[in-house]
Amino acid sequence: MSRRVFAALLLLASIILALVWTGVHMSFAYVRSQTVAAGEVRRDPISLPRGQATRLAVQIGMTGGSLNLAGGAAHLLDGYVESNSAWLHPVITYTESGRLGILTLAHRDLAELGRIANTAAHTATWDVQLSSSLPIANLEVSVGADRSTVDLRDLQIQTARVDMVGGDLVVNLAQTWDHNVDVRLTGISGELTVHLPAKMGVIVYTEQVFGQVATEGLRPLPGATGRFANAAYRQTPTTLTISADMALGSIRLVVD
């Protein structure tokens, strides 16, 4: 078995185990008598003032709807939530440890709410903007099976990870950062589109069990399969390094 196939199968096994754990965890909600029913769609603003932190660690878990993430917030965080479900409304927590600000947005624990009545009727869109002026030492994002957009061009990211369950995910990295950036993208299924910069060196490592990888503006690197680079790779002082792993589905890499 080749190293590439072994790594891909290992990724698939890890994802399956994670889904099994999630299913077992969520099943506990069904022993409660309370029922969480979908209501009228509400649009609620969200905002968080900037504290004393000089850098951030951000974790966003949005697996039950659509996420639109970008920079440009006037505060630490701005945006709105459009939802008809108490389950899908985010719980926002923020703490500071020294100069590090720790920001988390996540669904409420389903086990605390009770049963979901007609799950398909529960909808939500999170439109989230983060501050463009604060460095983000680590960004972790999880999205579900809907259509989501993660636009990181106006964010001072250093390392980022985006995990998708399915659906369509667009990740925009078409920015020329003045420092090295590492991004990991993983998916169970669906379509992943990644926009890349032309003026910053880019190298992409891909792993896939079933599906295809399509590229525009990248060249395959000699040696192991699944490695690609743009024309600026090794020609610029900084590099964007991407690992893109997909179990089932397609990966599209586009140099803008």
C-alpha span between 79 and 44 (Å, rounded) = 9
pLDDT of residue 85 exceeding 80, the answer is no
The helix or strand, by DSSP H or E, that contains position 10, with its residue range, turns out to be: helix 3-27
Lowest mean pLDDT among 142-146, 180-184, 202-206, 250-254: 142-146
Domain that holds residue 219: 3-255
H, E, C per residue of 176-233: CCCCCEEEEEEECCCEEEEEECCCCEEEEEEEEEEEEEEEECCEECCCCCCEEECCCC
**Whole-model pTM?**
0.84
pLDDT at 200: 98
pLDDT score recorded for residue 24: 35
C-alpha span between 204 and 241 (Å, rounded):
6
Tell me: pLDDT of 120 over 70. no
* Mean pLDDT of the 243-255 span: 94
Structural tokens at position 136: 């983000």
Please write the tens of the pLDDT for every residue from 143-159. 987 899 999 999 999 99
Condensed to tens digits (0 to 9), the pLDDT of residues 10-56 reads 455 555 544 444 443 333 333 333 445 556 788 999 999 999 999 99
Structural domains in the chain (count): 1
Total residue count of the chain as it appears in this document: 256
